[in-house]
Chain A
Amino acid sequence: MERKKLDIGLYGFTGCNGDQLVIIHSEDKLLDFFASANIRSFSLAKSDNEQTPLDIAFIEGSISSQEQVEHVQEIRQRSALLVAIGNCACYGGIQAMELGREGWDRRFQSVYGENFFEVRTPIESKPIDAFVAVDFRLPGCPIDADQFFAVYSSLIRKTKPQMPDYPVCAECRWRENECLLLKGQLCLGPLIAGGCKAVCPSHNLPCVGCFGPVEEANVSSEFALLKEKGFTVEEIRRRLRIHSGSGVLKSLKNLFGEV
């Protein structure tokens, strides 16, 4: 018997829309993707979008205006499952690297002066789970296409997707790269979730952390390892915060009492 097709929606909030673009750029898989479910909304790829109940909503981008708060709440209400795709949706993205510190108002003013928007009410950018419940997270800046389609096919088969529970370092060693830490470069590989196939270290460049943190529990011990290699807390933390947004606030607070 043929399985009933699921109703799917894809949405983009604040970010570069790179995650939806990763899907669009997967020409070879795109037609299957469109055939496998009823794509009710994917405004990047089609214009006849509908506002209907959904089995799965995929959301990319962070929330950075009052209007977006309302929109994401509305999507949540009509979606059985809500999946955050990409670092902006999962952790707030680069625009959330100052999260937990004072100063958003001041920074906003330094860019826009005393002016206000007539058409939107800006707020400090935050990840999706700051406003609605998120059932599943697929990090990456941008996401990895293979990972997305693997997660997608388990979700439509109603099984729990398997995500890597190892850091970039593991993938890096499988590729038999020479470790950059040994060459004195600050590589975030030990702290960052795997999934990208260690692409940066494989190009002789340090991981800058664009897949967000590994399990919270591991952050403390790996942080110590980097310190041992001679990097200062200040530079490790600065670099880690660039892409990890809300994902490292708790660990940093535990480690240092401040973010």
Chain B
Amino acid sequence: MLNKLLASLDESERAAVDDEEYAVLKAVAAELPSVKRDVLELIPTLQLIQTKHGYLPRLALRMVADHLGTTVSKVYGIATFYNQFRFNPPGRNPIKVCLGTACHVKGGEIILENFERRLGIKENETSEDREYSLERVACIGCCALAPAVVVGEKVEAYVTPSKVEGIITEIEVRKEMAAREQKKDEE
């Protein structure tokens, strides 16, 4: 029945969804039937989708609403109320700058600006090539090591503007090396 929703997309809707997102939607369609049809499951379901796929595609909200027997507006209302949810795919290297109290006092704002400048994207945006995404978080519990930044899964402590440069360079170098390895393998 959920796949019906996918099948029922009109042309303009289908065109608005790229292949990557379409794959996510198909996966969500396959996952949803195992979720109990109870509005109490709404938040856990959104968490499930986000944990698995990194974000909530717009049409997935419609699927969730259908499955739980509620309205899209309600699902959307919930999803936008809570800070945890995002609606665009995160970058391969999601960067979260802590702007909790301790980090703020130690210049977290400046660190955020440095990432914005270095990556050419603003807070809550993902770079065109999906390599990076940037957001702010409130306290990751490393206040003693402020200012702190989470890059992927790794927490970087005592970040300074020049360390921002270092963090990005490191990612670029790793990427470059991986690309070279791959090329070697292909040859």
Same assembly:
no
